[in-house]
Structure formats: structure tokens, C-alpha cells
Amino acid sequence: MSVRRNTMLLSALLCASLVSVSAFVEELDDSFMDTKGDDEIWLIKFYAPWCTFCKQLDPVWHQIGSELKSLGSPVNVGKSDATANTGLAKEFRVRGYPAILMLKKDVKYDYSGPRTKDGIMDFANRIAGPQVRALTSLQLFQHAMSRHDVMFVYIGATSPLKGNYSTAAERLIVHTYFFSASRDVLPKAVSISSLPAVVVFKDGTYFTYSEERDGELKSWINRERFPNYNKIDSYTLYAMGESGKLVLLALVEEKRLCEKSLRYKRLVEKVAADYREIYSRNFYFGFMEGGSYIDGLLMSEVVVPSFIVVDLSSDSYFLPAGDIETERHLLDFLDKVLDGSVQSQGGNGVAQRVKRFVYDAKVMLTPLFSQAPLLGCFLVCLPLVLVMVTCYLCSKARSADTDEDGVALLAPSAQSSRKLTDKKSD
């Protein structure tokens, strides 16, 4: 009896906790845009009831709502069934599920990072705050440096460069933080030759923007918003494609690394650090655990450990012709990629897209056939049957139209023939 009472008590407590957590996430409908306040900031998830990824994200979403509320954040958290509230989904141009975005002063900011609590919370805090955050003391400056792997800082008074910096921050705040500071709050190790200046702090050092050398400020920020060497996941790799840079990856095992994998990682890290001035304008460097994402790009199972250079702007890649065992081998490979000696593979042409569609379908259906062959056959055959039936009905309708036209043409002919016959008989 006591066991049953305890079970019922635990169930009641669990239900109460779920209700309390759910209270921090508001369900939004098509009337949202008419009822929201002008100064309200919203973090919104669009979902579909049948979407597996949406269901997996749901408990994380409620945790985010609860934590933002407990921190006193001005961000309101909501979610909307895009299949039921089609007007709201159309307003925000929702194309896939789950879609995550923020709305601040009627400006929409799309989130494209990993579907994790930390990633989404960081995005929410970044958008909710000022686009350019002032660092008014050395302590604040050092605290910001300790929290961010990459940090952009405008240093100096009001100038046209500051206006360009603010414009870039407005566009790129979805990706990174932007700060401003005066010269007197900089650490002693930071030496700026002239002001105003835009400086990026990353990889344990800093680099100053030069319009003559680096081109447009926004493009330079977009290129420099990642560490030069880093652990790279699929979301980060996809985002790197927007920078226009190539990515040199050491593909290694997901868990216990073999000696060769460790050597490949160290080799990429050394080249990234020692040859930064030569290659940083064209390459990012890093390692990726496992090769499932790269398998989809190559449309075959990739060898691990190995090296690959990826160009996500065109879905193409470069593979070394032989084994890379030394630093010199790796440098030669990078040089050949840059001068065109190594032929790029893949791409996003029509033929390649068709091949990728077939490959993705095969990857998706193979486990289904192995676990439920009857269901797999049904899902494959049903579209074929529908296409065949549609073609048959179209051809039948066309032949019927032809018959009707034939009768219409023959009728006058027959009538005139009849008239001629009658006339002759007269």
C-alpha cells in the first residue's frame, strides 16, 4: 500500500513540475502579431506534431523558458504549431521544423546553431542585449575575453568606421558578440598603432582590421568569426560555408582515438598556428569526430582517420592523392588545393543533386527495409503506383478528347456527303 502511495505521490509531483515548467512557454496562434507588445522580445519555436526532432527539442525548450524567467530575462518564450497556425508560420517564412527564431522590435533573427540548451540560450541572450556592448573597465574587458573564444571590439570615438561596425553588428549579431571600448581599458599587452580600429581577439592573440588588406568590414568579420583551429561539428561546418573559406578537417574516431588520429589532430593544429599568416585568409582548421556528416557529402563511407578539405559554399571537397604523414605533405596538399592542382569533387550541379537525392533516399530506406521490409516496400511502391495511375488517367482522358474531336470533324463531312448524294439523286 505504501509503495502505491509513494508511486502516486511521485507521479503527482512530476505532473506538477511539468505544469510549472510549461507555464513559462506560451502557445502562440495566428493572432500573435496583433496582440504582442511593440517592445516585447520573443524566442519562438515553430513545430509540427509529427516531427520527431520537434518532440526531442520540447523538454529542452521548456527548460529554456524556465531558466530565462528565473534569470529575469526580458525574453518571452513561445511555441507554435505551424501546421495549425499557418498564417503565423507564413508571416515568419517557416520552411522546416523545428524552426527557431527571435523577434525584437519587429526584426526577425533566425537561429541555425545546434539544438542544445546552451546554444539557444546564448543566442537568446545575444539578441536580447544591445547589439554593441560597451566595455567600460579593464575588469569587464578581461571578463569578456575569458567568456568568448572570438570577440570583436571597436576601439575609439565616433567615426565612419564605427557606423560601418554598427551596421555589421546589426546583420551578424546572430552569429557573434560585438563590443566597444576606449583605449584606456585595454590590457597592457594590447597595442593599437592608430585609432579608431576594429580588433578581433581569438586564438590567444588579436588582429586589427585593415580595409586595404581585408576588404569590406562585414565580410572580414564574417570570415574571422570562428577560431582558426577548433573542434567542428556539422552545424559549425555548415556555418563556415557562409564565410567563403575552405575547411581543412582531420577526421578522427568519436570516442577512443588511435595513435594516428592523435597525430593527425596535432599536425592540423600545428599548421594552423605556425602558418596562420599564409593560410588563414583561405582556410579554417579543425577536427571532426566521426564521419557521418562527411559521408553524406562524399556519398560514400569516409575513411577514419583521414584528411579532407571541404568547401561548403559549393558542397565540394578535396582529397589528398596519397598518404599525409608529415607537415610538408600537408602543406603541399594545401598549396595544391589553392593553385588548382588538386581537382575538386562533388559540387551542387544538377547531376550531383540527383545523385545526392538517391543516396539520401537509400540511407533513409535501408534501415527501414531491414527492420520492417513490408512497410518499406509499401512506402516505395505507393508513389510508383500513384504515378502510374495518374499517367493512365491522363492518357485515357487525352484519348477521350481525341475521340470527341474526331466525331466533331466527321459530322460535317458526313452531312456534306449526304447532301451531295441527295443532290445527285435529284
The neighbour count for residue 417, using CB atoms within 10 Å, is 11
CB atoms within 10 A of CB 214: 17
Long-range contacts of 255-262 (CB under 8 A, 24+ apart): 258/305, 260/305, 261/304, 261/305
Catalytic residue among 15, 51, 381, 391, which? 51
Q: Are 217 and 198 in contact (CB under 8 A)?
A: yes
Distance CA 69, CA 66 (A): 5
CB 227 within 8 A of CB 273: no
The question of whether 51 is a catalytic residue gets the answer: yes
- Buried b / exposed e over 52-83, threshold 16 CB at 10 Å, is eebeebbebbbbbbbbbbeeebebbbbbbbbe
- The torsion angles phi and psi of 109, rounded to 5 degrees, stand at -125, 115
User: CA-to-CA distance for 85 and 163, rounded, in angstroms?
Assistant: 39
Return the SS3 of 231.
Answer: strand
Crossing angle of helices 350-371 and 373-425, rounded to 10°:
120
Q: Which three cell numbers stand for residue 265?
A: 589532430
Sequence letter at residue 75: V
Counting Cα atoms < 13 Å in the Cβ hemisphere of 385 gives 6
Distance of CA 170 to the CA centre of its chain: 19
Confirm whether 54 is a catalytic residue: yes
Catalytic residue among 15, 54, 381, 391: 54
**DSSP annotation of 411:** H
8 A C-beta contact, residue 205 and residue 256: no
Whole-angstrom Cα distance, residue 383 to residue 71? 51
E strands, 315-370, are 316-318, 345-346
Which helix H or strand E contains 51, and what residues bound it? none
In degrees to the nearest 10, what's the CA dihedral of 352, 355, 359, 364? 100
Backbone phi and psi for residue 314, each to the nearest 5 degrees, phi listed first: -130, 10
C-alpha 183/C-alpha 195 separation (Å) is 9
**Which set of grid coordinates corresponds to residue 48?**
509540427
Given its phi and psi angles, is residue 203 left (phi above 0), alpha (psi -120 to 50 degrees) or beta?
left
- Report the catalytic residues: 51, 54
